[in-house]
Amino acid sequence: MQNLRRKTLAAASAVSLGVGLAVTGGLAPAASAAGPDTTYLVLAPQGATTDKAAARVAAAAGTVVATYDRIGVLVVRSTNPSFTTAVAGAGVESVASTAGLGSALDEGETVEVSAAQAVAATADPTAEPLFGQQWDMPMIDVPQAHAVNAGSPDVLVGVLDSGISSTHPDLATQIARDKSTSCLGGVTDTTEAAWNPTTSDHGTHVAGTIAAAVNGVGVTGVAPGVKVAAVKVVNDDGYIFPEAAVCGFMWAAEHGMQLTNNSYYIDPWQLNCRNDARQRPVWQAVQRAIRYSQSKGVLHVVSAGNSNWDLAHKITDTGSPNNTDEPEVRENLTNSCLVLPAEVPGVVTVSAVGPTGDKSYYSSYGQGVIDVTAPGGDTRFRTQGVRSTLTDGILSTTFNTATRTDGWGYKQGTSMAGPHAAGVAALALSAHPGMTPGQLGSFLERTAEAKACPTGVYNPVPLIPTGPNAYDATCSGGKRNGFYGAGMVNAYNVVR
């Protein structure tokens, strides 16, 4: 049994898509009440329309700001303090307030670097000025892959994150502008300014790992021939909410994306328990959205998390909900309690490794949970945890939100591992179009390079200031195991 130590996952997410809904029905409107303007997820029974639920929302003094008829989910706002009770009834399966459920985006430690002078553009990723600092690309055989297939523009990867800088010289040609949007405030805004970054460059860094152009400037992406779509889903305060995740999956499903990259979990509960009435609507809504998007041909690549948790064993959670000064103690949580969306069936869950190819000290793991692994950086292994060597992070595209300038810099996290796997998946679709999400996920695993478990207790950072055993971890399994899943993703293996 493991006790969860609170560490925030480097995160990205989505915000609800605002779609108006005409409300009809014979229920009498609830008396107006002065209360905080609160957001709710209201779920109709599976397979039913949302008409009855919408009528009950109106009667309970709520306003529908987004409707997802195909999955029976409404995003609602109301100032009625009794809304949860008032909306219950025929046509409503469950309802949950999302107040306080925001998960802060963890930017991690970022160091910017200056790009060298541009060189003549070639088809060789190793000719990019900063390629020599991209230790992650040779680790997964990107140069060999590009000699065969560097990606097809018919493949579109949704970057559900904080926006992508449309002026970045490594990304300006890579963005599908007609598929990009901001979902902030519950209403889509497809203007270019809206889906550009404002307070975070996390999405710009992720996008560069997936698809930075081979253009003689800066770095290369894993799949520079494919396109990325900016789906700005992190608000200016750096938060994701449950309704945000639902919107992100649905936007991808309805806008031609074959892949998405997701690096977040849904707070305030570190694990969402399907048998807890407070959390079940969140689980149901996210699962419905993922299942629907999978049916529309979307594979979701998800980061495992940066908390060094063993997700396969019973856990005692002492740090939730994290939006209160009085968290509860929830002991012996079973498999009914899961990290969302990393443990939703059908997603590809990715752990992180550093320059040695060994599990990054922070990366969460778990037999039967981790599908594959990829470079995410490990800035402390050289000093056993004493201090950081930031060049052992992942170098990619950045955007300085203070100076509003484009650049390149290092970040680390499973948020950086996920886009490597997404890029490899994009190359696989480019070389072998037509695969379903299930086939593509299986192909990623079959072509991965297996990695064996280390023996005994693994901890590359025993001297870290938080304590000698703060990052102890034990790997279980054989050729497929809890640290690395089926193994390291490999770009060359998926295109040859």
Q: What is the mean pLDDT of residues 211-216?
A: 95
Instruction: Find the catalytic residue in 136, 141, 161, 358.
Output: 161
Mean pLDDT check: name the lowest of 115-119, 234-238, 275-279. 115-119
Spatial separation of the C-alpha atoms in residues 414 and 265, rounded to whole Å: 12
Between CA 282 and CA 73 the distance in angstroms is: 10
Q: Which residue out of 180, 415, 420, 430 is catalytically annotated?
A: 415
Residue 185: the pLDDT is 66
Burial class of residue 324, CB neighbours in 10 A (0-12, 13-18, 19+):
exposed
In whole angstroms, give the CA distance from residue 295 to residue 278. Answer: 28
Q: CA 149 → CA 35, 119, 153, 432, distances in Å?
A: 57, 22, 12, 11
* C-alpha dihedral, 133 to 389 to 470 to 5, nearest 10°: -70
**406 counts as catalytic:** no
Among candidate residues 73, 12, 40, 44, the one with its CA nearest the CA of residue 286: 73
Distance, CA of 361 to CA of 348 (rounded, Å): 21
Beta pairing class for 62-68 and 73-78: antiparallel
Of the ranges 10-24, 301-315, 356-370, which one carries the lowest mean pLDDT score? 10-24
Give 435 or 15, the one with higher predicted confidence: 435
Does residue 59 surpass a pLDDT of 60? Answer: yes
- Residues 178-210 pLDDT 10s: 999 887 766 778 999 999 999 999 999 999 999
The tens digit of pLDDT for each residue in 138-163 reads 999 999 999 999 999 999 999 999 99
Q: Ranked by mean pLDDT, which of 30-34, 51-55, 259-263 comes out on top?
A: 51-55
Residues in the chain, overall count: 496
Better pLDDT: 10 or 139: 139
What are phi and psi for residue 464, nearest 5 degrees?
-65, 145
- Say yes or no to pLDDT of 390 above 80: yes
pLDDT higher than threshold 70 for residue 405: yes
Residue 476 vs residue 114, higher pLDDT: 476
pTM (predicted TM-score): 0.87
Average pLDDT of the segment spanning 2-24: 31
The 3-state secondary structure of 87-114 reads HCECCECEEEECCCCCEECCCCCCEEEC
Question: Which pLDDT belongs to residue 244?
Answer: 81
Peptide bond into 375 cis (omega under 30): no
DSSP secondary structure letter of residue 294: H
Q: Angle at CA 480, nearest 5°, toward 474 and 484?
A: 60
* CA pair distance 222, 281, nearest whole angstrom: 37
pLDDT value at residue 452: 98
Contacts of 4 (CB under 8 A, 6+ apart): 270, 307, 309, 315, 316, 317, 318, 319
pLDDT at 384 over 90: yes
Does residue 242 have a cis bond before it (omega within 30 degrees)? no
- Tell which CATH classification among 2.30.30, 2.40.50, 3.40.30, 3.30.70 matches the domain 38-101: 3.30.70
Q: What pLDDT, on a 0 to 100 scale, did the predictor assign at position 204? A: 97
Cα 206 to its chain centre, rounded Å, is 10
pLDDT of 410 higher than 60? yes
What confidence score (pLDDT) does residue 188 get? 78
For the chain, the C-alpha Rg in angstroms (whole number) is 22
pLDDT for position 318 = 52
Q: What is the model's pLDDT at position 134?
A: 97
Least confident of 77-91, 226-240, 471-485: 226-240
Give tens-digit pLDDT for 78-94: 999 999 999 999 999 99
Is the pLDDT at 114 greater than 60, yes or no? no
| Residue 418, amino acid | G
- Predicted confidence at residue 279, as pLDDT, reads 73
Lowest mean pLDDT among 177-191, 369-383, 431-445: 177-191
Residue 324 pLDDT greater than 50, yes or no? no
User: Nearest 5 degrees, angle CA 177-CA 208-CA 491?
Assistant: 110
Question: What whole-number distance in Å separates Cα of residue 420 and Cα of residue 273?
Answer: 30
Asked whether residue 282 carries a pLDDT value surpassing 70, the answer given is yes
Average pLDDT, integer, range 159-182? 96
- 122 has pLDDT over 50: no
| pLDDT surpassing 80 at residue 229 | yes
Higher confidence at residue 56 or residue 119? Answer: 56
Which positions ≥6 away from 66 have C-beta within 8 Å? 16, 17, 18, 19, 74, 75, 186, 243, 247
- List all residues 6 or more positions away from 487 whose beta carbon is below 8 Å from its beta carbon: 372, 373, 445, 448, 449, 450, 451, 480
Residue 423: is its pLDDT beyond 70?
A: yes
The proportion of the chain whose per-residue pLDDT surpasses 70, expressed as a percent, equals 81
CA distance 32 to 340: 35
pLDDT of residue 98: 82
What mean pLDDT, rounded, does the chain reach? 85
Confirm whether 415 is a catalytic residue.
yes
Catalytic (active site) residue 161: yes
- The CATH superfamily assigned to 2-11+105-495 is Peptidase S8/S53 domain (3.40.50.200)
Residue of 202, 205, 255, 300 marked active site: 202
Calculate mean pLDDT across residues 44-57: 96
Q: Is it the case that residue 411 has pLDDT exceeding 70?
A: yes
pLDDT at 37: 92
Pairing between β-strand 227-232 and β-strand 337-338 as defined by DSSP bridges: unpaired
Helix (H, G, I), strand (E, B) or coil at 228: strand
Q: What is the per-residue pLDDT for 9? A: 36
Is the pLDDT at 461 greater than 50? The verdict is yes
Domain extents for the chain? 2-11+105-495, 38-101
DSSP state, residue 8: P
**Cβ neighbours of residue 150 closer than 8 Å, sequence gap 6 or more:** 123, 125, 214, 223, 224, 225, 427
